[in-house]
Amino acid sequence: MRLCAKCGADMPLETGRGRRRKFCPTCSPSRPRRKPEPSEAVTRAVTAPAGSVLDATRAALVQSGRLDTPMGQAALVLASRIDDAGEPLAAITQATKQLREALSSVVSEEQAAPADPNDEFTRKRLAREHGA
C-alpha cells in the first residue's frame, strides 16, 4: 500500500489509467472551482449601450442607398448579432469580420448591369474557336 507524501496515511488502492496520486484525499491541494472575475475592460464593454453597431450599420447602408439589398439586410443581421450581449466572444469576433467584409462589398459596389446569359455562350464559343 502507498503512503501519503504529506501526512503519511495509507492511501486507497488506485485502479484505472493516469498518474498515481501522491496525497490522500484530505491532503490533496484543492483547485479553485469558480471562474475568475472578468476584467474591468470586459465589464465596461458588456455594459455599453446596445444597438450602437446596428444603428451605425443602418446609417451606412441608408447613406449608400443599399439598405434594401439582400447583402444590406445580411449586414443588419450580423450587426444585431454583434450587439447581442448573450453571444459568446468568438461568435462576436467572427460576426465582426463578416460584417466588415459585407459592408465593404455592399457600400463600394457599383450598380452592376444585369448579366446577359448570351455573354457566357459567346465567350465559350470564342474560346473554342481560338483554341482549336
Encode pLDDT of 44-59 as tens digits.
Answer: 555 555 558 888 888 8
By CB atoms closer than 10 A (0-12, 13-18, 19+), residue 4 is middle
Which of 8-22, 29-43, 75-89, 115-129 shows the lowest mean pLDDT across its residues?
Answer: 29-43
What is the per-residue pLDDT for 113? 53
Q: Give the single-character DSSP code of 102.
A: H
Which pLDDT score is estimated for 41? 57
Start-to-end CA span in the chain (Å): 86
Query: Is residue 57 within 8 Å of residue 79, measured between CB atoms?
Result: yes
Q: Cell numbers for 50, please give them.
A: 446596445
pTM (2 decimals)? 0.46
Mean pLDDT of 105-118: 66
